[in-house]
Structures are given as structure tokens and as C-alpha cells.
Amino acid sequence: MSYKILFVDDEENVLSAFRRQLRGRFEVHTARSGTEALELLAQDGPFAVVVADLRMPGMNGIEFLAKTRQAAPDTVRIMLTGYADLGNAISAVNEGNIFRFLTKPSPPEHVIKAIEDGVKQYQLITAERELLEKTLKGSINLLTEVLSTVSPVAFSLTLRLRRVVSHILKHMALSSAWQIEIAAMLSQIGCVLIPASILEKISQGLGLSPEEQKTYNSHPLLGYRLLAGIPRLEQVASMVRDQLKPLSEFDVSSRPLPLDATHTGAHILKAATDYHQLIAKGMPHSEAVEAMRNQPEVYNPRVIKALSSEPFDLEMWDSRLASVSTLVEGMILGEDICSVAGELAAKKYAQLTPYLIERIREFHATQGVMEPFRVYVPAYVDLSSGIVAVYPAEVE
């Protein structure tokens, strides 16, 4: 694999020398200024290594490499400097802005060795990030599969909460949005230990007894304990833990409220959960939002403003009869699927994933399944007009 290397120097003869020295070893790009180089980083990246001269008109090398660190944090940064500027170069190394520096002029073998070392460092950085991302994705997929299998009611609730959370995030422009999206996906993971009867009441907007409410309120802490040990999910775990807390239990001494990522995520989950419960009870969108706006001690006003910014489609469910051959990913089972002999193949309220569909089909091929059976398909209800669009239309 040929890695991209970017050289930045205002002297064309220096850039030409680098192109000659590295021809055939790397894919070499050059720029005559920091501004031009930043444009290349954005348009032609990613670059494995960036080599920049310290002394350039306009934006100097230290400023440019500091901006590179922000724009392309995985890119390894090397500085070119004369002996008179060694103090500045060493300071830049100590501050973490660069990986290594080269003095001018440098023998070709020194340049090649520094870049090869930079590429090795880039490989380590990207390999570690890729491993973390795969681990994170695998962990999330595993947990959602567990939730859909063990507690289908909680999983179907998760799907509806995610839609509300996505609508809120659309109107808040948060840098931590990806973490909040994951927190919404995993917000109900603690419900694997909550009785299904309680979750069904929550899903249907029914009231809970004090004892049932206490049991239900324990699920955020249970979820936190499951998530806290997963790399890069520490903030997500805290959002899940605090998702039922009213605003008054956070530090609200500052006005306007600071956009702390973890706290804001918890505020959004709290608003989405309570909004869903109000809608499930039959309250119109405008009335639900107004009821929440009138409780400033409970809800973050920025979150309520985003929630009320425009009408949106809330995912509901339409009941249909289906057979094994008509199963589609995203459906929710409206009843247990059993073999003709009464053996359980899949539980009521399970969300159909490719894995679960294949499992049901294999079960049907070997033992036979009682058909037809009831499923729920998404029905998107326009809260302002009352128009319902059901998918998939071919299910009868």
C-alpha cells in the first residue's frame, strides 16, 4: 500500500528535492503554504505523514501543524527547521504538536527514515482506532441483540425513543450527537432485568404502582453497570445512568445552561422518554410539549425547544398477519412463534433482525411453524395531520 505524504514549504526547490528523493516510495503531494496544505488535507486526505517547514510566510509551521492536529488527528506531523530554530522545534515536540523534526538540509536517508517511522506510527494509530471502532460496534450490536431477544418490549421502546432523540439532535447541532444516538440505542439495556409486565405498561402509557415504578427506575443504574467497562462508552454509560433524573438534580447554577455532553445526553433521554409516555397516553404533540415546557425544573429548555421546533413523524406500529415467507427486517412479533408441536421459536415483541429471520426460517424448515401469526409493522404518524403511512405495504 502506498501512503500519502504531504510536504509543505514555500521554496519550490526544496519541494522538488523531496519529490525526487521519495519517488516510487510514497505518494508525494506538495503545498507552498499552510493555507494551501489545509485545503489539500480536507480534499485529498487522509495523509499518513505531513512534513512542514517551520519558517513560512503567513502561517508558520508550528501554527500549521497545530491546525493539522485538529483537522486530521491521525496524521503524523514532522517539522523541518534550521539550527537557529531548534528551541522552537523542541518546544513543539514537547507540546505534542509534532512527532519528530528534521534539520535543514537533511541527508535523503534521514528524510526517508523519518517518514518511514512516521508511517509506522500512523499504522499503529489507525490500527488501534480501527480495533476500538470494531470492538465498539461489535459490543453495541451484541447488546442490542441481547435486548431484542431477552426483552423485546424494551427493545421496541428503544426504537421509538431513538426516533424522538434523532429529532431533537437534528435541531441542536451537538458535537457529541453520535454518543447520544448510541445512548438512545442502549438506554433500555438495563431492562433485561425488569419484569415484562412492567415494560408493557410503560410501552402502552399505563400507570405503574409505586413498587412497579421503583423497579422500573432501577434500570438506568443496571444499564450503567453493563456499559461502564466498555472502551469509549464511558460517557454513554453516564448518560444512560442519569436518563431519568430531572434537571434540578444537575448543576443548573449557570444560565444559559452549559452544553456538557454527558449531562445534555441525559437531558435528551429524559425528555424523549417522558414525551413518548405522554404520546402513548393519547396526548397530542403540541399539548405534550407544552406540558413539558411548563416544568423547567424537570426539563432542559434547550431540549424542549428542539423537540418543539417542528412537527415530526413519530413511529407507531400497525398490526398485520404474516407468514414465515413474508417476514421483513424491522417487524415486531405480535405473538410468540411456535412450532406445530408447541415449541417456542421466537418470543412476542421480538424485533426481527436478519439473524432472527434466518433462525425462524430454519426452525420452520425442520419443525414447522404455526401460520399465520401477528406482527407489527412501522406506521409513521404525522402528528400535525394525523396521516398514517404503513411499511411494508405488501404485508397482508
Q: Are residues 178 and 245 in the same domain?
A: yes
Distance CA 295, CA 119 (A): 55
If asked whether residues 109 and 227 sit together in one domain, one would say no
pLDDT at residue 154, rounded to an integer: 82
Judge whether 97 lies within some domain.
yes
Query: Do 101 and 171 reside in the same domain of the chain?
Result: no
Last residue of a domain, one of 310, 342, 359: 310
- Domain membership of residue 359 as a residue range: 313-396
Q: What is the pLDDT of residues 82-107, one digit of tens each?
A: 755 666 666 666 665 688 888 877 88
314, 157 contact by CB (below 8 A): no
Please give the Cα distance from 331 to 350 (Å, whole number). Answer: 8
DSSP one-letter code for 104: S
Q: Per-residue pLDDT tens for 69-82?
A: 888 888 999 988 87
Chain centre distance of CA 283: 30
| Residue 17: φ, ψ to 5° | -65, -40
**pLDDT of res. 278:** 87
Pairing of the two strands 332-333 and 373-382? antiparallel
Domain count, the chain: 3
Q: pLDDT of 28-68, one tens digit each?
A: 999 999 999 999 998 888 999 999 988 888 888 888 888 88
Q: Mean pLDDT across the stretch 293-312? A: 88
Calculate the CA dihedral of residues 81, 86, 88, 92 and round it to 10 degrees.
Answer: 80
Do both 254 and 321 map to the same domain?
no
| pLDDT attached to residue 281 | 79
Average pLDDT over residues 185-190: 91
Under 8 Å between Cβ of 141 and 157 = no
Is the predicted pLDDT of residue 2 greater than 50, yes or no?
A: yes
SS3 8: strand
- What are the cell numbers at 23? 519517488
Q: What is the mean pLDDT of residues 235-259?
A: 81
Q: Do the Cβ atoms of 378 and 391 come closer than 8 Å?
A: yes
Domain boundary pick from 267, 282, 310: 310
pLDDT at residue 394, rounded to an integer: 36
The pLDDT of residue 312 is: 61
Comparing C-alpha atoms, which of 361, 276, 360 is closest to residue 317?
276
Count of positions (residues) in the chain: 396
- In this prediction, residue 258 has a pLDDT band, given cuts at 50, 70 and 90, of low
Q: What per-residue confidence (pLDDT) applies to 250?
A: 87
- Cis amide leading into 46 (omega within 30): yes
Let me know whether 267 and 295 are in one domain: yes
The CATH number for 177's domain is: 1.10.3210.10
